[in-house]
Structure 1
């Protein structure tokens, strides 16, 4: 491809000119009110995600203890798909788009959107291939045996057959968020959540006279709902009604566009990978304590994963604000946005952690009445709950650092958390420690992660 062709693709004027930087509200509006305004749609969408998690766990709990233990094996991989596509690579997409817009280059942002879609499709295909080929082996390594393993595989095969749809929804939503549009992505995710609840419950439990498909039926809700969501967002952006338009006819592959996204997204993917690996190592250790302890931890870790979307709501709200400020050379404002978002997230998630440390039955009673399972879950919240505030701080600052294209420090903080759990957990098991000691280790690792991320951002120089 000629250099002239590349220049024409990047520099050609758009149909509608981008407002000057001084007219861009994300660069001039008060930080805290703007963050809250951008975060509210995401909070609402994440409430929908939380409701889905509660509904699915409730459905699975009705299917029996083995399915409940099975979901503890699959859930880390399911959340890894979401975290990589929405938070890690999605953050890279939002960062690249917002930095282009902050510099006043709308056409570049539109070209970036098309390259992001290609990355999303490839990411989904990779997850489908890995989980369909190696899923059973992975669940066996985590301690899955007998009926628990079979139930895990039944859920996994259906779920990961639709990984491309999950990646596409989250990629397109990230493009829109990079422009400052939080409402349409949130509305789409709410619609997907509603469909997932209805379809998963109907097929999983055999409602309205339909066959009871069990775990495969519950997973089908996510498969169908995200497929419909992906089609909707593609049609919307192709129609030109959004702030950016997908200009497919004039599209040309440009290596620099992939680099702009992947220099943030690829490295950022290490953080959720480390986070899930932390959970997998811990799950493997706890599997030796029996099914009841594993199921109880599954209930507790499910909430831990659900706290990520709460931090996500404020984190992704900070990405376009930080990215546009960096693109416009307003570094001091970018840093103020990051610290404000982190503080708000830590406060909210910290309150959740303290509340559940004091009264864990508020969450646990939603999923089980088994005394042994409930006791394990109560112990988890009692020891790990106080660390949730630091977890929220770390996750939100990780997103803010994506807006500045400086994710190395937060990734290293996630590495420290992983090493603490792996080494400390192994040592505690060797010392024949009780499960409560391992749960206390989880809380300590959250503190290390939050303070490590904050320290890394404090010492990292942000530049345009």
Structure 2
């Protein structure tokens, strides 16, 4: 009996422990879809807010509408940097720590992430309050339009810290694999923003009409409440992380772990905004009808971004946890699955509008010149939508693996193609359709180059 006892115990000791998180073992596609759905709903709600806000600003007059157009690129940059770029770095770092089984490190990373978000928001506030008028003037703002932009901008960017904290804390929760709470918080923020902004901006329910200041105050209030809710959720012990503020100490490697992904990833939103601004400037020389036709197309692209974002952000914690656990092959399968899903979904919509553009264009205009320009845009750029979705989704997936250099370079290539190619075509007197073809081609190059960089980049140590 004394000889047999150790032999009987060996199999039990050899049994591997069960993984702490189902994201390491669950089937990839069903899990990805389950995580993507709440994100897609939340992002769709956020997109509808932009539509609603534009609608009631339109009731304030033409100058407010033109003013919001000046502020929009900077507001979009704030959201993209905090939610998609730095937010991806936060989700990546926390999920990799959890995948490695180090919950204490994940909790400490969460506190460092909150500090990064607060500091970044403060930088945006100071920059836009100090230089906002200069930026809007450079974009062509003059007179009453510039003053309307400044009224909106002052209030909006005074609350930039709240915007950054909402997206940063939401990214912390996503890093644990929980997509429902961040999505619910963002939907709540969207509802409050529409209600408060509309009421204060238009003077509804007997309230004073504050105009553009009131519209921006709706976003200020909504994100402040959203940040408070997410902070309460994380510090109340209800999340999957236990945050210990009393024992918190600054750790340089924690900042590096987040910033090595998030800081580099922040270049991507800058590239996207620059691409839009440069191409819009080039098209302005082709006349109002051409510019309006492009506006129809870019509006659809904006509505398709939530689909890509949903798949991409859902892939980050799955990939991060797999990388933390040393499951590199699984991490790559998640990335390609998410990329394929985004490519097929967004690409399907792109092909539909390329074949039947009036399904979309007729919703906004019946002007023959604008319709012709929009039809030309969709015919040439529509087939590239799928590749754009592929590239953006793999950009997010690369954040999960802490390897974002390749996708960022692919975005740089797209920017150069649009800027240099667009300038050359415009200066050569080429017709407008050639610029639309350039946009479609740049999307294809962006998607394929991003995919190639992911394929060639070594993941893991």
Q: TM-score, normalised by structure 2?
A: 0.90
Residue 22 of structure 1 aligns to a residue whose secondary structure is coil
Cα separation, 2, equivalents of 1:209 and 1:144: 32
**442-451 or 316-325: which moved more?**
442-451
Given that residues 21 and 104 in structure 1 are in contact (C-alpha distance below 8 angstroms), is that contact kept between their aligned partners in structure 2? Answer: no
Residue pairs, 1:331-370, within 5 angstroms: 331-360=328-357, 363=360
- Whether 2:239 is the aligned partner of 1:242: answer yes
Cα separation, 1, equivalents of 2:264 and 2:151: 32
Distance 1:46 1:361, change over 3 A: farther
Cα offset for 1:217?
2.8
Cα offset for 1:189?
0.5
Q: Which residue of 189, 192, 196 maps to 1:195?
A: 192
Distance 1:224 1:289, change over 3 A: farther
Cα separation, 2, equivalents of 1:279 and 1:432: 21
Given that residues 65 and 295 in structure 1 are in contact (C-alpha distance below 8 angstroms), is that contact kept between their aligned partners in structure 2? Answer: no
Given that residues 50 and 306 in structure 1 are in contact (C-alpha distance below 8 angstroms), is that contact kept between their aligned partners in structure 2? Answer: yes
- Whether 2:186 is the aligned partner of 1:183: answer no
Cα offset for 1:150?
3.2
> What is the aligned residue count?
446
Structure 1 equivalent of residue 140 of structure 2: 143
Given that residues 69 and 295 in structure 1 are in contact (C-alpha distance below 8 angstroms), is that contact kept between their aligned partners in structure 2? Answer: no
Given that residues 143 and 287 in structure 1 are in contact (C-alpha distance below 8 angstroms), is that contact kept between their aligned partners in structure 2? Answer: no
Unmatched runs of 5 consecutive residues or more in structure 1? 1-18
Unmatched runs of 5 consecutive residues or more in structure 2? 1-15
Cα separation, 2, equivalents of 1:58 and 1:433: 36
Q: Which residue of 414, 418, 421 maps to 1:421?
A: 418
Distance 1:150 1:441, change over 3 A: farther
Q: Which residue of 156, 161, 165 maps to 2:153?
A: 156
Residue 19 of structure 2 aligns to a residue whose secondary structure is helix
Deviations 1:368-394 (A, max 9, x none): 677766665555444322221111101
- Whether 2:74 is the aligned partner of 1:77: answer yes
**244-253 or 278-287: which moved more?**
278-287
Cα separation, 1, equivalents of 2:251 and 2:374: 50
Given that residues 20 and 101 in structure 2 are in contact (C-alpha distance below 8 angstroms), is that contact kept between their aligned partners in structure 1? Answer: no
Q: Which residue of 24, 37, 41 maps to 1:40?
A: 37
Q: What root-mean-square deviation, in Å, do the aligned CA atoms of Structure 1 and Structure 2 show?
A: 2.3
Distance 1:129 1:299, change over 3 A: farther
Given that residues 71 and 298 in structure 1 are in contact (C-alpha distance below 8 angstroms), is that contact kept between their aligned partners in structure 2? Answer: no
Structure 1 equivalent of residue 4 of structure 2: none
Given that residues 384 and 443 in structure 1 are in contact (C-alpha distance below 8 angstroms), is that contact kept between their aligned partners in structure 2? Answer: yes
Structure 2 equivalent of residue 321 of structure 1: 318
Residue pairs, 1:393-412, within 5 angstroms: 393-412=390-409
Residue 256 of structure 2 aligns to a residue whose secondary structure is helix
Residue pairs, 1:266-281, within 5 angstroms: 266-281=263-278
- Whether 2:221 is the aligned partner of 1:253: answer no
Structure 2 equivalent of residue 387 of structure 1: 384
Distance 1:307 1:21, change over 3 A: farther
Structure 2 equivalent of residue 453 of structure 1: 450
Deviations 1:420-463 (A, max 9, x none): 01101111221234444333322221111111100100111101
Cα separation, 1, equivalents of 2:435 and 2:68: 21
Cα separation, 2, equivalents of 1:366 and 1:214: 28
Distance 1:186 1:259, change over 3 A: same
Distance 1:159 1:383, change over 3 A: farther
Given that residues 142 and 287 in structure 1 are in contact (C-alpha distance below 8 angstroms), is that contact kept between their aligned partners in structure 2? Answer: no
Residue 245 of structure 2 aligns to a residue whose secondary structure is coil
Cα offset for 1:159?
1.8
Distance 1:194 1:170, change over 3 A: same
